[in-house]
Structure 1
Amino acid sequence: MKTFIPNGGQLEDHKSVDESRLSRRKLLLGGGGIAGGLMLARRADAAPDPARETINDDSNRRPPRLLVADLRGPQGPDMRRGPGANPAAPQSIVVQPGSGENVATPYPFNGKHLSGFIVSNLYSFDTGTLFSARDISSIILTNLGSQPVFVSADADDDKSPAVASPLKHTVQPLQSAIVRSGVQISTAYASADGLVSLVHVREPKNHTSDVFAEADSWTRYQYPEGFPSLPLWISSQLQLDHLVKIDPWKMAGQSSPPGSEPLGYNVYANLWWLPAGSDAGVHDVHHHNFLEIHTQLVGFGRMQKFRDLKTAQQAVNIEPANVALSDYSFPFDASASFAGLYEEHRLAPGATHAPMPIVTTYNAWGGHSDVARSASAENPCFYYPPHQYYSDTDCIWIAFEFHRAS
């Protein structure tokens, strides 16, 4: 078994972060509408920091009320963008991982607190080759391929599929699990459809002031005109120029049409950040026709579905439900704040929600959107209900999008 890291990527052993200048945080729900504000307050006994007073306040690049954020500007020209790239991302980087087995492609948003890889052409792989066994932090595995991924406690349990072992089990497509460094992951047969994401959250604390301050790979999401300005942030985006053949109907939990065959897709991935008590905005159609899932990395959040788009969007101007701060660290009933909410999925770190759209061979959006105007059995339409992400705490999650390969 060999492991390749494309584009000259190197694994880095980051030093621990000096937290002496970091401040305690104070949660205050405020502002208008559903989106709550997160205030980061300096300790009363902390000495003034002259450097902080001289930082230019660039609201388009700085997380809300960030304390220490010497964010650098873009480094050089924009990277080339794939056809499905999110135009809001600060960079969209296209990577061709190669054809060898177990090719590890690093994410463009890797940093001190959070780092990871997409492993393509997965066959038999020791996670200890990417992550140090000395670090006891969790590795969040998301299966992005069409094959089940076997997770084995050690190499002996992974020797043969014919050998029964309770220490070897599967993570099904579009599902996730939390594993430790050194576990073996494998597929029944080597193919391009073996694809997994491995994300290591080394230190979930202080990510608001540290993750954003260490790179220029984040920017505030720019909402369309007429949409409320919400405190949502997007990282740089990776497009894996690697054909993965999946059955979109099966992946979405539906029966495949008679005679249908697996179709080729490319995977895009990026992080999202949202402060506690905030929503990311109710929407249905996306900027492109794609199948998406989200895996929670830091904090506790929800994916919510609504009966009617207009009613749910208008609710952003309604006074939110009164939630006592003493109870705020616990899940509460958000239905009082969001009109038309009929279903939600709670997301803890390591959890992935089920795909939300139905898949059709025609443009189910009709006159509402033309993102799937050429929908067919060869390029089906992903038809979403009105939905949004909501954060109970400060949250970071990773979004995976499956775009039909041209």
Structure 2
Amino acid sequence: MPRNAETPLNFSGPRVQALLVQDVKDYHVSGPAVVVNTGTSDVHLARTPRKAIPPLSSTILTGVRIEEAASLLILRVKDDTDIAGIAREPGWDLLGDLLGDSTTPTEDATLPFPRDTPLWKSPQDHAGLIELDPAHLLAERAEPRRLQPFEIRANLWFAPAGTDCFIHNQHDFIEVHTQLHGLGRMQKFTEQDHSTLYEDLPMSPGYTTSQPFCSTGPDGTYLYPWHQYRADTDCVWLAVEYHPMPHRHP
């Protein structure tokens, strides 16, 4: 693979341009662009004082050189546009349509996703491979012990102002979210009930949730609190997911 290899992601479009950049070395970001560090090491900017974009975080950069990184996601949002039109771009779907006809409570008595929720999902794309120790990534131990292979996947979401995007607590992957357009928030609850809100994290463009919400379970699964995204204005945000892959045997 050539250095600074740029691959447009399959949800890149006229309103949000999205690139995967791999084997990064002395890479110039013309900007303004949201730069997401999907790796497990600091990504340094060629500026004094020498500062870093920490793992699983992001910032907005303009006219700066990135020294080195395994891979980055770089997203540019066109501001002078009808952002709601992104849901009409090819491949976007209302989440309720993707989930099908299930309208009954699940076996563990949790409420089902309301199919009429105005929440749209872009196509999802492969965004690289990585080896990591989940417990270390989730700040459960100071040093990594056993690295495991993960696939990174990414997609966009859109919701109009005032949308509660459903309180849930089930994922079989590690996820973080990056705000691209508008103002929103990630929220945590003690139960699947809005009145039990206990943490409210405001999100503005360029911000990524500082830590994944989950912890590791004893059987290798991921334990999430009840949580949801809420759109205060019309919002577009990025989801980055880390999916465990089967272990390879010699």
Name the TM-score class by shorter chain: 0.7 to 0.9
Q: Which residue of 1 aligns with 2:180?
A: 297
Structure 1 position 256, deviation (Å): 5.4
Q: When the two structures are aligned, how many residues end up with a matched partner? A: 232
Structure 1 position 296, deviation (Å): 0.2
Is 1:146 matched up with 2:46?
Answer: no
Q: Pick from 43, 67, 78 the counterpart of residue 186 of structure 1.
A: 67
Q: Which residue of 2 aligns with 1:394?
A: 234
8 A contact 2:87–2:120 mirrored in 1:
no
TM, length-normalised to structure 2: 0.86
TM, length-normalised to structure 1: 0.54
Separation in 2, partners of 1:279, 1:184: 38
Amino acid at match of 2:129: L
Q: Which residue of 1 aligns with 2:75?
A: 199
Structure 1 position 405, deviation (Å): 2.2
Is 1:262 matched up with 2:147?
Answer: yes
- What is the 5 A alignment of 1:335-374? 338-353=194-209, 354-360=211-217, 362-363=218-219
Q: 1:147 to 1:252 in 2, by over 3 A?
A: same
Separation in 2, partners of 1:243, 1:111: 24
Identity of aligned residues (%): 31
Separation in 2, partners of 1:296, 1:176: 9
8 A contact 2:87–2:158 mirrored in 1:
no
Structure 1 position 239, deviation (Å): 1.4
RMSD of equivalent CA atoms? 1.9
Amino acid at match of 2:242: F
Unaligned runs of 5+ in 1: 1-98, 129-136, 158-164, 313-337, 364-374, 376-380
8 A contact 2:87–2:93 mirrored in 1:
no
Deviation string 1:119-163 (CA, Å, 9 cap, x unpaired) is 1222331224xxxxxxxx6200110011110122xxxx5xxxxxx
Deviation string 1:182-229 (CA, Å, 9 cap, x unpaired) is 311123xx7xxx2211100122641113x334x312110024423323
8 A contact 1:243–1:405 mirrored in 2:
no
Q: 1:204 to 1:142 in 2, by over 3 A?
A: farther
Runs of 4+ in 1 over 3 A off after TM superposition: none
- What is the 5 A alignment of 1:122-271? 122-128=24-30, 138-152=32-46, 157=47, 165-166=48-49, 168-180=50-62, 182-187=63-68, 194-203=70-79, 205-209=81-85, 211-213=86-88, 215-222=89-96, 223=99, 224-226=102-104, 227=112, 228=114, 229-240=116-127, 242-255=128-141, 260-271=145-156
Residue 124 of structure 2 aligns to a residue in which SS? strand
Q: Which has the larger radius of gyration?
A: 1
Is 1:116 matched up with 2:18?
Answer: yes
Q: Which residue of 2 aligns with 1:106?
A: 8
Structure having the larger proportion of residues in strand: 2
Structure 1 position 339, deviation (Å): 1.4
8 A contact 1:247–1:256 mirrored in 2:
no
Deviation string 1:342-393 (CA, Å, 9 cap, x unpaired) is 0111100000012100123x23xxxxxxxxxxx3xxxxx2110010000100
- What is the 5 A alignment of 1:12-161? 99-128=1-30, 138-152=32-46, 157=47
Amino acid at match of 1:297: L
Structure 1 position 248, deviation (Å): 1.8
